[in-house]
Amino acid sequence: MPLKRRESGLKAVLVIGDGMADRPVKELDWKTPLEAAHKPSLNQIAKTGISGIMDPVSPGLPPGSDTATLALLGYDALKVYSGRGAFEAIGSGIEVLPGDVAFRCNFATVNKNLVVLDRRAGRIANKDASKLAESIQKIKLEKLLDSEFLFKNTIQHRAVLIIRKPGLSIAVSDFDPGNVGEKVSDVKPLENTSEAKLTAKIVNELMQEFHKNLKEHPVNKERVKCGLPPANMILCRGAGTVPNIKPLSQMYGISTACIGATPLVRGVCKAAGMKLIDVKGATGTPQTDFMAKTKATIQALKTHDFVFLHVKAPDVASHDGNIKQKVELIEKIDRMLGYLLGNIDVDSTYLAVTADHTTSLVTRSHEGDPVPIAITGPYIRRDDVEEFNERKCAKGGLNRIKSMDLMYILMNLLGKTKKFGA
Amino acid sequence: MPLKRRESGLKAVLVIGDGMADRPVKELDWKTPLEAAHKPSLNQIAKTGISGIMDPVSPGLPPGSDTATLALLGYDALKVYSGRGAFEAIGSGIEVLPGDVAFRCNFATVNKNLVVLDRRAGRIANKDASKLAESIQKIKLEKLLDSEFLFKNTIQHRAVLIIRKPGLSIAVSDFDPGNVGEKVSDVKPLENTSEAKLTAKIVNELMQEFHKNLKEHPVNKERVKCGLPPANMILCRGAGTVPNIKPLSQMYGISTACIGATPLVRGVCKAAGMKLIDVKGATGTPQTDFMAKTKATIQALKTHDFVFLHVKAPDVASHDGNIKQKVELIEKIDRMLGYLLGNIDVDSTYLAVTADHTTSLVTRSHEGDPVPIAITGPYIRRDDVEEFNERKCAKGGLNRIKSMDLMYILMNLLGKTKKFGA
């Protein structure tokens, strides 16, 4: 009996170590963190599977977490990317409608000359941030040209602003200067269009109104009394709209789930029509509950064809330049994969592991280098790569592919791609 | 302290052996010239670096020197290429304005039936060519529909013709039949547009006027007396305009320099906004001063972020089918690289070496085969390739890339690519 393509019953799980790929590091004797780590399960996947390297978006181009995730889900990020803001909002559980312009925001501390003293207002606690956000949301908008806005805090200093009005644009600069010691910068239109000008005008007025409200707020007066930096300014950046993309279910006829805590990544997955599964203890930090996420993945596989498991932690260690922590976090991901390998049906499940991009411990930035990829599962053309890392995978049977091709490759293994031609 | 991406201080030099790649040759015991040559420094670069193979434009497509150089500088030649003529002119130091149509020309010898007897008029000396060019430039243009023209000889039989008038087109055929023994061919419009028709008309009239002027010229009468072929015809080909490309400085925020003698390659580099560095003794021939070019490269690296060093010689040997000379020239390039390796700061400089394309000793033509590439420098993901040649590099960590991706890969290593996304 043939295995029917469309009703194969095969499933796939894709595990992403955010920023896990790296360049050789002097302190690791010119090994990469992946090369230095003890990682029997990652190696097991390479050994029993097919490996390769993968350009996240295009060779040499450093991607963001949002564009890299779009690519991993099979979308052409260069064509469909429409800014960060909407993903951040959607990922935080806030509805964004087509046409809305959304911004990622920080609660911040500025001095009376509007120079930024702390971009995170001392990593303000959720409790304080919630009260301030409520207060901001009540601001009356007489001046604001008939626009509506929605302001919501998410985790600590993080927040989201959505502006709703027909005829807005994402072609505006950031209010957030990006660095401590710099003055907040008026939002400017990045295109000579009435839409961009209008959007810039509204955002600037909002930022002023927010500042007026915040600086007199009792919560901030209390913070100053306790020696905490007041959250007296909102810094917004990354204007974005919801992208015009087809959900994965529609493209491949599959049910999909995302397990990950980072709002930006969750937002991309949500925009792709995936079910977001909340996991207690999943924080998007190096202290996240790795095992809880793993168990949730195994659970999700029972009811979904495709599960995307995202682990932010190695990216955090890379941005901090923390070599030892990055190696340890890779070893924790390895243990997740060991548990996964032992608890999924290997006869009917493809398991792929990769990074969304390289984050260099030296530059502490995203880099455009390719990432290693390995896929194990039934009917794979197993190659002779025996270790999962940047250099060994480069010798694998997948050769060099692009992230945006991976989803299609997996869906083909699952029998979910449609024949093109006769 | 992290290495700051944008202010990394890292530099790169890209060395091109023109037409250096080849196919296996019977006379070399089925080795390629790169495989047969003694080349310790090229091997050193492979050994300490990452290697791969590279499709100049796309697999199987034989590129010209102009399209191959465009690709090596990171441009999509299939989209931006706008003919040879303008590059040839710019590379010879002649200004070409947007809208001008430029042609590469030869001084040639024809008989009275306009059959080509010598496409290079006996490789006419610069002195004679200059006098003839001056005479041509003085021709009055009453018939020529208000167009202006500029005619200038460059080296030996080579010359450039520029026609300036609004509404011209590059969609015209060549006046140069390409082969000895064939009659010159009237320029024809290659599109059914008034622009192409007008351009063809103007070029044909110019060619006739030039012929009238040349055949009676005292310089040619003197040449005939001395038994030299008269330069009694101009053969033009390769209509082109300046391409619409962004300079490298604007794309990556870097300062760039080109060291190379071939006008066509210099023209592409100039169009990319690079500084052309003149080197005494650099001729674009197998007799070029290899060491002078190498020293100029080291000098240029002191004041530029990116230096492009182009060596035409192996292409010349290939077109001549001269196996022994091609091997020797590769060995000379190897000595250049040895000197470079010993005189650049290897801790802060990436050194890449490749060919612009394959030129086959057997077909004596450009071929569409991939070329070997190796990059050495700090933070490279060193692989286990130990020899620089077509077959060993194919097993390297870069796998198979495209020439147009190389520049982006280098700029990423230098920290000059900008993040796409958040």
CB contacts of A387 in chain B (<8 Å) are none
User: How far apart, in Å, are the Cα atoms of B294 and each of B280, B282, B284?
Assistant: 12, 10, 14
Judge if A256 and A360 occupy the same domain.
Answer: yes
Contact call for A400 and B400, based on CB within 8 A: yes
Flag whether pLDDT at A144 surpasses 70. Answer: no
Residues A111-122 have pLDDT tens digits of 999 999 999 999
Residues A233 and A255 both lie in one domain: no
Q: What is the DSSP letter of A352?
A: E
What is the DSSP secondary-structure string of B331-344? HHHHHHHHHHHHHS
Distance, in Å, from the CA atom of A268 to the CA atom of A265, rounded to the nearest integer, reads: 5
Task: Tell me whether strands B256-259 and B306-311 are parallel, antiparallel or unpaired.
Answer: parallel
- Domains held by chain B: number: 2
The first and second tokens of residue A35, run together, are 């090369």
Q: Does B290 lie in the same domain as B233?
A: no
Q: Name the B residues in 319-338 with CB < 8 Å from any A CB.
A: none
Residue B4's pLDDT is 85
| A59 reaches B (C-beta below 8 A) | yes
Given a cut of 90, is residue B5 above it in pLDDT? no
For A6-43, the pLDDT digits (tens) are 788 999 999 999 999 999 999 999 999 999 999 999 99
Nearest chain A Cα to B377, which residue?
A24
Contacts of A408 (CB under 8 A, 6+ apart): A74, A417
d(CA B87, CA A264): 46
Confidence grade of residue B328 (pLDDT, cut at 50, 70, 90): very high
Q: What is the mean pLDDT of chain A?
A: 95
| A215 and A276 within one domain | no
Nearest to B420 among A24, A61, A400 (CB): A61
A77 & A180 share domain? no
Chain B residues within an 8 Å CB radius of A77: 420-421
Nearest CA in chain A to B378: A24
B5 found inside a domain: no
Contact B420 A63 (CB under 8 A): yes
Whole-number Cα distances in Å, A350 to A306, A314, B238: 9, 23, 54
Q: Look at residues B311, B315, B312, B313 and name the one whose alpha carbon lies nearest to residue B340.
A: B311
Residue among B5, B383, B421 whose CB faces A64 most closely: B421
Q: Answer whether residue B368 is part of any domain.
A: yes
Give the A:B interface size as CB pairs under 8 Å: 102
How many Cα atoms occupy the beta-carbon half-sphere of A306 within 13 Å? 29
Q: Are residues B229 and B360 in the same domain?
A: no
Mean pLDDT of A259-271: 95
Cβ distance A68 to B421 less than 8 Å, yes or no, reads yes
Tell me how far the alpha carbon of residue A259 is from its chain's centroid. 11
CA distance A393 to chain B (A): 9
Check pLDDT > 70 for residue B295. yes
The domain spanning residue B269 has which CATH number? 3.40.720.10
A234 and A257 share a domain?
no
Instruction: Check CB contact under 8 Å for B8 and A53.
Output: no
Mean pLDDT throughout B25-45?
A: 98
The helix/strand/coil state of A411 is: helix
Measured in angstroms, the CA of B380 and the nearest CA of chain A are apart by 7
Is A418 inside a domain boundary?
A: no
- From the CA of B48, how many Å to the nearest CA of chain A? 12
Q: What local confidence, expressed as pLDDT, does residue A147 receive?
A: 81
**Residues in chain A closer than 8 A to B398 (CB atoms):** 394, 400
Question: Do A18 and A133 fall into the same domain?
Answer: no
Residue A143's pLDDT is 62
CB contact under 8 Å between A59 and B379, yes or no, is no
Task: Estimate to the nearest angstrom the gap between the alpha carbon of B324 and the chain centroid.
Answer: 23
Which residues have a Cβ under 8 Å from the Cβ of A115 and sit 6 or more positions away?
A: A181, A182, A183
Kind and range of the H or E run holding A397: none
Asked whether residue B147 carries a pLDDT value surpassing 90, the answer given is no
State whether residue A183 sits within 8 Å of chain B by CB. no
Q: Are residues B179 and B122 in the same domain?
A: yes
On the question of pLDDT at B65 being above 80, the answer is yes
- The shortest CB-CB distance from B397 to any of A60, A81, A391 is to A391
Identity of the residue in B399, B409, B422 whose CB atom sits nearest the CB atom of A84: B422
Residues of B in contact with A264 (CB under 8 A): 422
Q: Per-residue pLDDT for A142 more than 90?
A: no
Average pLDDT over residues A268-290: 95
Q: Which of A58, A264, A394 has its CB closest to that of B422?
A: A264
DSSP code of B242? -
> For the residues B206-228, what does the mean pLDDT come to?
96
Last residue of a domain, one of B240, B268, B284: B240
B146 pLDDT band, cuts 50/70/90, is: confident
One-character DSSP codes across B63-116: --HHHHHHHHTT--HHHH---SHHHHHHHTT----TT-EEEEEEEEEE-TT-BE
Q: Which whole-number Å values give the CA distances from A195 to A84, A101, A104, A134, A171, in the listed order?
A: 19, 11, 20, 28, 9
pLDDT of B142 above 80: no
Task: Please tell me the distance in Å from A81's CA to the nearest CA on chain B.
Answer: 8
Q: What is the pLDDT of residues B353-375, one digit of tens each?
A: 999 999 999 999 999 999 999 99
Quote the percentage of chain B above a pLDDT of 90.
Answer: 94
The pLDDT of A353-367, averaged and rounded, is 97
Nearest beta carbon to residue A67 from set B4, B382, B421: B421
Is residue B130 pLDDT above 80, yes or no? yes
* Closest partner CB to B412 (pick from A321, A362, A368): A368
Over the stretch B303-317, which tens digit does the pLDDT of each residue have? 999 999 999 999 999
The pair of structure tokens assigned to A60 is 């040499």
Model's pTM, two decimal places? 0.93
Question: The tokens of A406 are what?
Answer: 């991976």
Confirm whether B6 is domain-assigned.
Answer: no
Mark yes or no for CB contact A23/B379 under 8 Å: yes
Same domain? B121 vs B76: no
Q: Is the pLDDT of residue B144 over 70?
A: no
Query: What's the pLDDT at A145?
Result: 67
Q: What is the mean pLDDT of residues B395-416?
A: 98
In the block, tokens 């091709």 appear at: A405
Mean residue pLDDT across chain B: 95
In B, minimum Cα distance to A22 occurs at B381
Residues B150 and B265 in one domain: no
Provide, as residue numbers in chain A, all residues whose Cβ is less than 8 Å from the Cβ of B348: none
Q: Is residue B107 part of a domain?
A: yes
pLDDT single digits (tens) B233-290: 999 999 999 999 999 999 999 999 999 999 999 999 999 999 999 999 998 889 999 9
What pLDDT score was predicted for residue A3? 79
Q: Model confidence at B140, in pLDDT bands (50, 70, 90)?
A: confident
Amino acid at site B81: Y
Q: For residue A27, give how far its alpha carbon lies from the nearest alpha carbon of chain B (Å).
A: 12
- Which of A27, A326, A392, A400 is the mutation pick for testing B, counting most B CBs within 10 A? A400
Under an 8 A CB cutoff, do A368 and B3 touch? no
CB < 8 Å from A in window 280-319 of B: none
Asked if B397 is an interface residue toward chain A (Cβ–Cβ < 8 A), one would say: yes
Through-space distance between the first and last CA atoms of chain A, rounded to whole angstroms: 23
In one-letter notation, the amino acid at residue A293 is: K
- End of a domain among B211, B240, B269? B240
The boundaries of the domain holding residue A359 are 11-81+245-413
Residue A256 lies in a domain: yes
Q: What is the C-alpha to C-alpha distance for residues A104 and B390, in angstroms, rounded to an integer?
A: 49
CB contact under 8 A, A63 and B380: no
Residues 362-391 of B with CB under 8 A from A: 379-383
Q: Which of B209, B240, B271 is the last residue of a domain?
A: B240
Indicate whether B217 and B99 sit together in one domain: yes
| Pair B105, B233: CB distance under 8 Å | no
Does residue A316 belong to any structural domain of this protein? yes
Whether B419 is in a domain gets the answer: no
